[in-house]
Amino acid sequence: MTQNKGDLVPALVLASASVTRRQMLENAGIPFETLPVRIDEEAIRASMEAEGATPRDVADALGEFKARKGQEKRPDALVLGSDQVLALKGRVHGKPASREDAAAQLLLLQGQTHMLLSSAVIYHEGAPIWRAIGQVRLTMHPLSEAQIEAYLDRVWPDVSGSVGAYHAEGYGARLFSRIEGDWFSVLGLPLLEVCSFLRLRGWLD
C-alpha cells in the first residue's frame, strides 16, 4: 500500500517491462512498482485480426491482457497495462522478429502515413476500471533499400523491441517528415490521460 494525503490507497503497479514507460512515469513523479508480465502478443493479435478486430481494438485488448495478468499477481494493487500497435492501411504490425523483418517493415512504411495506437488499461479489484487509447499519425520519408540497410546498420538490434523498427525519440527521428498527435503516445503510453485519471481518483495531487 502507498500513503497519499494521509489515506491508504492501493499501490500503482506497471505491468510492463518497458524501460520507456517506466521512465515516463518516473519523470512525471508518479510513485509505482514494476511487475513485468508475459502474454503471447502475436497469438492475441493474430486471433483478433482473424475475427476482424480493428487496430484500436487490438491495442486495447493487449493492454487489458497485461493489466489482468498483473492483477492476478497483485490483487491488492491498481494495475496499469499498456501496449502499442502500428497500423498501416488497416493492418496491424508488431515488433520485428529479425533484422530482415525490420527491413521489410520499413520498406512497407517508407513514403507512407501510418498510425501508432498506444493503450492504457487500469485494473482494480479484478475488473477494468479505466482505459484510454492514444493515436498518432506518422509520415515517413521515401527511403531506398540502401538507406534502410544503412539505417539498420546503425540502430539494430536496439530497435528490435519497437513496432516499426524505429525509435522516433532518437536516431529514427530522421525517418519522418511529419508526426501528428500526442508525443507520449509515440513513446508507448498515453501519459496525460493516465495522469488525469490518477488525479481524478486522488492518487495524485
Residue 71 lies inside a defined structural domain of this protein: yes
Give tens-digit pLDDT for 157-180: 999 989 999 999 999 999 999 999
For residue 205, being part of any structural domain is answered with no
Is 182 catalytic? The answer is: no
Asked whether residue 58 is domain-assigned, the answer is yes
Number of separate domains in the chain:
1
| Residue 9 within any structural domain of the chain | yes
7 has a pLDDT exceeding 60: no
Task: Give the pLDDT of residue 8.
Answer: 53
Rounded to an integer, the average pLDDT of 66-73 is: 97
Q: pLDDT grade, residue 9 (50/70/90)?
A: low
What pLDDT, in 10s, does the model give residues 26-45?
999 999 999 999 999 989 99
Q: Quick one: three-class SS letters along the chain? A: CEEECCEEECCEEECCCCHHHHHHHHHCCCCCEECCCCCCHHHHHHHHHHCCCCHHHHHHHHHHHHHHHHHHHCCCCEEEEEEEEEEECCEEECCCCCHHHHHHHHHHHCCCEEEEEEEEEEEECCEEEEEEEEEEEEEECCCCHHHHHHHHHHHCCCCCCCHHHCCCCCHHHHHEEEEEECHHHHHCCCHHHHHHHHHHCCCCC
User: pLDDT grade, residue 72 (50/70/90)?
Assistant: very high
Average pLDDT over residues 78-106: 95
Q: What is the mean pLDDT of residues 107-123?
A: 98
| Residue of 83, 158, 182, 205 marked catalytic | 83
Residue 144 belongs to domain with CATH number? 3.90.950.10
Establish if 90 belongs to a structural domain. yes
Residue 27 has what pLDDT?
A: 97
Average pLDDT over residues 168-194: 97
Q: Which domain holds residue 117?
A: 2-200
Q: Does the pLDDT of residue 203 top 50, yes or no?
A: yes
Average the pLDDT over 105-134 and give the result: 97
Determine the pLDDT at residue 204: 83
